């Protein structure tokens, strides 16, 4: 596993853990806070985790493309 992959996975794992912690806190506090503020915070949290997920998906797509390119190159060279 490359250092880049390790870094991406670690970063994404931390982002998901942070999202979950904030989500649970927000749900718990929802009854005592302004609904508009709660909704705005929920939307912000969702946008951030969606951005991080898209970043991870792009990285996996890069790996898939690399596999295809390098594998085809090796097979053609045979």
The length of the chain is 78
pLDDT tens track for 18-69 = 999 999 999 999 999 999 999 999 999 999 999 999 999 999 999 999 999 9
Confidence of residue 70 (pLDDT cuts 50, 70, 90): very high
Between 1 and 23, where is the model more confident?
A: 23
Count CB neighbours of 16 within 10 A: 14
Q: DSSP letters along 12-40, please?
A: HHHHHHHHHHHHHHHHHHGGGS-HHHHHH
pLDDT at 78: 86
pLDDT tens track for 4-22 = 999 999 999 999 999 999 9
Rounded Cα distance between 16 and 25, Å, is 14
Q: Domain extents for the chain?
A: 3-76
């Amino acid at each position: 596993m490359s250092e880049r992959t390790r870094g991406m996975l670690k970063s994404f794992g931390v982002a998901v853990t942070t999202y979950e912690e904030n989500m649970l806190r927000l749900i718990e506090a929802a009854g005592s806070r302004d609904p508009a503020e709660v909704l705005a915070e929920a939307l912000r949290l969702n946008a951030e985790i969606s951005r991080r997920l898209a970043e991870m998906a792009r990285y996996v797509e890069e790996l898939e493309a690399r596999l295809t390119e390098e594998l085809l190159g090796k097979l053609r060279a045979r």
